[in-house]
Amino acid sequence: AQSVSQHNHHVILSEAASLELGCNYSYGGTVNLFWYVQYPGQHLQLLLKYFSGDPLVKGIKGFEAEFIKSKFSFNLRKPSVQWSDTAEYFCAVTGAAGNKLTFGGGTRVLVKP
């Protein structure tokens, strides 16, 4: 069975700081990888996704993620966060042939103004 782990449950940082959220997955095959964001009181939104090709994926709102196959990782980064990036971030994975998402535990990010 596939699984996803996110290393940090809570992250607190100041505006303009850099953000990196770790995500590792366990799956015996080709995967599609996703990062979702859930702003307070809002529904899940897709930040970015990786299906194939360039392992460095750029998403919305200045976020990017790098797929490192050898490390089974798909870490999310943003060079300079804003207060509006305060949200919960979820890493998720599907098998290449399927569309059932398995989510990580989520990371709550608080950006102090």
Partner 1 sequence: GAVVSQHPSWVICKSGTSVKIECRSLDFQATTMFWYRQFPKQSLMLMATSNEGSKATYEQGVEKDKFLINHASLTLSTLTVTSAHPEDSSFYICSATPGLGYEQYFGPGTRLTVT
User: Applying CB under 8 A, which residues contact partner 1?
Assistant: 34, 36, 42-46, 49, 51, 90, 97-106
Residue 17 or 101 having the CB closest to partner 1: 101
Minimum CB separation from partner 1 for residue 26, in Å?
Answer: 15
Minimum CB separation from partner 1 for residue 4, in Å?
Answer: 9
Contacts 24+ apart (CB under 8 A), 49-57: 50/74, 51/96
Minimum CB separation from partner 1 for residue 86, in Å?
Answer: 15
Angle in degrees, CA 16, 92, 104, rounded to 5: 80
Residue 79 or 105 having the CB closest to partner 1: 105
Residue 19 or 89 having the CB closest to partner 1: 89
